Chain A
Amino acid sequence: MKDKIYRVNISTMDGHIEDVPEKLVGLGGRGLTSAVVSDEVEPLCHPLGKNNKLIFAPGLLSGTIAANSGRLSAGAKSPLTGSIKESNSGGTAARIFARTGIKALIIEGFPENRDEFYGIRIKAGTIEIEKTDLWGKGNFEVIDILSKDNPKAGVLTIGPAGEMRMAAANISVKDPGGKIRSLGRGGLGAVMGSKHIKYILIDPLGEESVSLVDPDKFKEAAKKFAKALVEHPVSGEGLPTYGTNVLTNVLHEAGGLPTRNFSSGQFEGHDNVSGEKMHELIEARGGKVRHGCHQGCVIQCSQIFNDKDGNRVTSGFEYETIWAIGANCGIDDLDALAEADRLMDDIGIDSIETGVAIAVSMEGGLAEFGDSKALIKIIGEDIKNGTPLGRIIGAGAEVTGKVYGVRRVPVVKSQALPAYDPRAVKGIGITYATSPMGADHTAGYSVTSNILNVGGATDPLKKEGQVELSRSLQIATASLDTAGLCIFVAFAVLDNSAAMDAIVDMLNARFGSSITADDVMDLGASVLKMEREFNKKAGFTEKDDRLPEFFREEKLPPHGVTWDFTDQEIDDFWNF
């Protein structure tokens, strides 16, 4: 099947299917969404207005038998940061997109009638726009209703947060169990809400195998790739057994676990919310330790977490979430955190931004640190119902800090910092500062070599080597995000050259190209530069590549470290 671009104009209620322009042929995932945003979105437009566009794209390897290739990218100008944004997620949609020849879905325009709401149904060769009465419903119910007559359909949906155009709203992606993964960061749910689109249903009818120029070579490379993932101790054993939350204890011991709104690097309640404790509870309560977010995942880092009566509470209960609403809010009650996670999935709001915003509000006096009842009320009542407080928190950490008169507001480019204090994990601080996405750990995960001793070892408390490390990781990540591969393949890629060779071989066998590993890295570098160029046109300068002042002025216990990079050292990142 020939790949096409599917375009929906919600102003005119038209759907068009277009040939893929030559310059987009070699792109997928993040490379493709960022190219379309760069080409078609006016950098100074309002993110919630008619000139912004929302783009979805599966990666170059999505839909194939390549392990961990089921990531879907979404891109737009972000209502949270005002910068270019790409967010990616597992779930079932990427595979269906790729196997029905949808290289990208572009949604543009603005509905004239502000009283009507829409759903989009796409399948190979057709686009339908329909009015919907599902507006107002939570994500779980929307997925259940849409899947009733079509259990295999892929679903993208927004919850109440997206409908209210909260800057922290995300887009939910149906997972293989009919539950939720999230296109989490940067408020893309608000962009979808501004266009009055509640859901996108991707019908697998007419699916075909993704065409491969050299199927035998592809199969051989895919086998090598899966083997490298399974044989690496992190992706083969660490992640499947303890999930991402094994990091709670790691970061606590390293003194880099941001606690009570980034005021300490250690949390005394760490053991109660750790991966080890979670593993114990999941086994005791009949949950599931291993769970994949998409077909073809061999890592299975996800899990299903039950309550004490054995009833499912949540899945995909990740370190970042557990940290944001846990240690960062001073809360060590894992059951309360699981309930909050379920609520955030249903409401459709980014758990990192929300957790950091709530911690900022706690510092501002809204509630005491450690108050899990306040956490549940703010999410389950205020955000869900859109009370004035819910709208403030839902607008993210920066707005919350202003409203509550708080000085310690951990954001870069208006996006909340994730779960590693940049004073004690300096490599990730460079990524927070320089990523075109705003503070984003996945953009260049320097925690690998700073803390985990994967892909080398760089002292996390020293500046030496951090800029180079973040640069090479951000370039590599932009390539992996373009290929549609899960970021966790990076552990194997960093330690075993066979994994990278296999990726290159798969790309060549898929497209009949003869690119090298260097070409793949050049592609990542060009994506990063393109994103930065958009940001420049949107008004960003190197002064936006800075961490907040308090990181330079306040010593972080227990190591007593500050953020001590000069502006020149940070700006050197872009010399490539």
Chain B
Amino acid sequence: MEIEVKLFAGFRKGRFVKEVFKIDEGVSVSDILARLEINEEDTGIIFVNGRHAKPEYILCDLDVLSVFPVVGGG
């Protein structure tokens, strides 16, 4: 399966903006974060296909995963 991973704000530092990942079935958001060496507690917003998702969410083919640190504005 393929998923797209998008990183934002400080998470881009030393990593990337957008990349396609080949993953096996049963891989969760947590697994991807671990692979990227991002601490779960440092994440503020996790979207899968533009909807809020929990770290235990199991990714499906063609999912778009977007990960932000804790941010705000207004």
A44 at interface, CB cutoff 8 A? no
Q: Which A residues between 447 and 479 are near B, CB-CB below 8 angstroms?
A: 447-448, 451-454, 457, 459-461
Q: Which B residues between 21 and 74 are near A, CB-CB below 8 angstroms?
A: 44-45, 47, 50-52, 66, 68-74
Contact A250–B45 (Cβ < 8 Å): yes
Instruction: Across the interface, name the chain B residue whose C-beta is closest to A487.
Output: B74
Distance from B24 Cβ to chain A, minimum over Cβ atoms (Å): 25
Contact A276–B52 (Cβ < 8 Å): no
A563 at interface, CB cutoff 8 A? no
Which of A118-126, A234-242, A371-379 forms contacts with chain B? A234-242
Residues of A within 8 A of B44 (CB): 233-234, 238, 452-454
Contact B10–A250 (Cβ < 8 Å): no
Distance from A22 Cβ to chain B, minimum over Cβ atoms (Å): 36
B12 at interface, CB cutoff 8 A? yes
How far apart sit A468 and B10, CA to CA, in the bound complex (Å)? Answer: 33
Contact B74–A242 (Cβ < 8 Å): no
How far apart sit A239 and B71, CA to CA, in the bound complex (Å)? Answer: 7
How far apart sit A454 and B69, CA to CA, in the bound complex (Å)? Answer: 12
Closest 6 CB pairs of A and B: A244-B73, A233-B70, A234-B72, A238-B71, A247-B73, A255-B50
Residues of B within 8 A of A320 (CB): 74
Interface string of A222-254 (1 = CB under 8 A from B): 000000000001110111011111110110011
Instruction: Across the interface, name the chain A residue whose C-beta is closest to B67.
Output: A253
Q: How large is the interface on B (under 10, 10 to 19, 20 to 34, 35 or more residues)?
A: 20 to 34
A491 at interface, CB cutoff 8 A? yes
A432 at interface, CB cutoff 8 A? no
A565 at interface, CB cutoff 8 A? no
B16 at interface, CB cutoff 8 A? no
How far apart sit A319 and B72, CA to CA, in the bound complex (Å)? Answer: 11
Instruction: Across the interface, name the chain A residue whose C-beta is closest to B50.
Output: A255
How far apart sit A249 and B6, CA to CA, in the bound complex (Å)? Answer: 11
How far apart sit A233 and B8, CA to CA, in the bound complex (Å)? Answer: 15
Contact A239–B50 (Cβ < 8 Å): no
Residues of B within 8 A of A275 (CB): 9, 73
Residues of B within 8 A of A457 (CB): 52
A483 at interface, CB cutoff 8 A? no
Q: List 22 A-B contacts (CB under 8 A).
A: A233-B44, A234-B70, A234-B71, A234-B72, A235-B72, A237-B70, A238-B69, A238-B71, A239-B71, A239-B73, A241-B10, A244-B73, A244-B74, A246-B8, A247-B71, A247-B72, A247-B74, A255-B50, A318-B73, A451-B45, A491-B72, A558-B50
Residues of A within 8 A of B9 (CB): 238, 241-242, 246, 249, 275-276
Contact A454 to B72, CB < 8 A, known contacts A250-B45, A276-B12, A559-B50: yes
Contact A301–B70 (Cβ < 8 Å): no
Interface centre among A452, A460, A559 (most CB of B within 10 A): A452
Instruction: Across the interface, name the chain B residue whose C-beta is closest to A242.
Output: B9
Instruction: Across the interface, name the chain B residue whose C-beta is closest to A420.
Output: B74
A441 at interface, CB cutoff 8 A? yes
Q: Which A residues between 244 and 280 are near B, CB-CB below 8 angstroms?
A: 244-247, 249-250, 253-255, 271, 275-276
Distance from A574 Cβ to chain B, minimum over Cβ atoms (Å): 24
Distance from A516 Cβ to chain B, minimum over Cβ atoms (Å): 27
A445 at interface, CB cutoff 8 A? yes
A-B contacts besides A319-B73, A488-B72, 18 pairs, CB < 8 Å:
A237-B69, A238-B69, A242-B9, A246-B8, A246-B73, A247-B72, A249-B9, A250-B45, A253-B68, A275-B73, A276-B12, A319-B74, A448-B72, A452-B70, A453-B44, A457-B52, A460-B52, A487-B74
Interface centre among B47, B70, B71, B73 (most CB of A within 10 A): B73
Residues of B within 8 A of A453 (CB): 44-45, 52
How far apart sit A461 and B47, CA to CA, in the bound complex (Å)? Answer: 13
Residues of B within 8 A of A300 (CB): none
Residues of B within 8 A of A461 (CB): 51
Distance from A365 Cβ to chain B, minimum over Cβ atoms (Å): 31
How far apart sit A239 and B74, CA to CA, in the bound complex (Å)? Answer: 10
A89 at interface, CB cutoff 8 A? no
Residues of A within 8 A of B72 (CB): 234-235, 238-239, 246-247, 448, 452, 454, 488, 491
A139 at interface, CB cutoff 8 A? no
The interface of chain B, by Cβ under 8 A from chain A, is 6, 8-10, 12, 17, 44-45, 47, 50-52, 66, 68-74
Residues of B within 8 A of A238 (CB): 9, 44, 69-73
How far apart sit A233 and B71, CA to CA, in the bound complex (Å)? Answer: 7
How far apart sit A325 and B24, CA to CA, in the bound complex (Å)? Answer: 43
Contact B50–A452 (Cβ < 8 Å): no
Interface string of A420-451 (1 = CB under 8 A from B): 00000000000000000000011001011001
How far apart sit A452 and B8, CA to CA, in the bound complex (Å)? Answer: 14
Contact A242–B71 (Cβ < 8 Å): yes
How far apart sit A238 and B74, CA to CA, in the bound complex (Å)? Answer: 12
Instruction: Across the interface, name the chain A residue whose C-beta is closest to B49.
Output: A558
Interface string of A202-239 (1 = CB under 8 A from B): 00000000000000000000000000000001110111
Residues of B within 8 A of A245 (CB): 73
How far apart sit A320 and B74, CA to CA, in the bound complex (Å)? Answer: 7
Residues of A within 8 A of B47 (CB): 253-254
How far apart sit A237 and B52, CA to CA, in the bound complex (Å)? Answer: 22
Interface centre among B8, B50, B66 (most CB of A within 10 A): B50
Residues of B within 8 A of A243 (CB): 73
How far apart sit A219 and B52, CA to CA, in the bound complex (Å)? Answer: 41
Interface string of A20-48 (1 = CB under 8 A from B): 00000000000000000000000000000
Contact A253 to B71, CB < 8 A, known contacts A452-B44, A453-B52, A559-B50: no
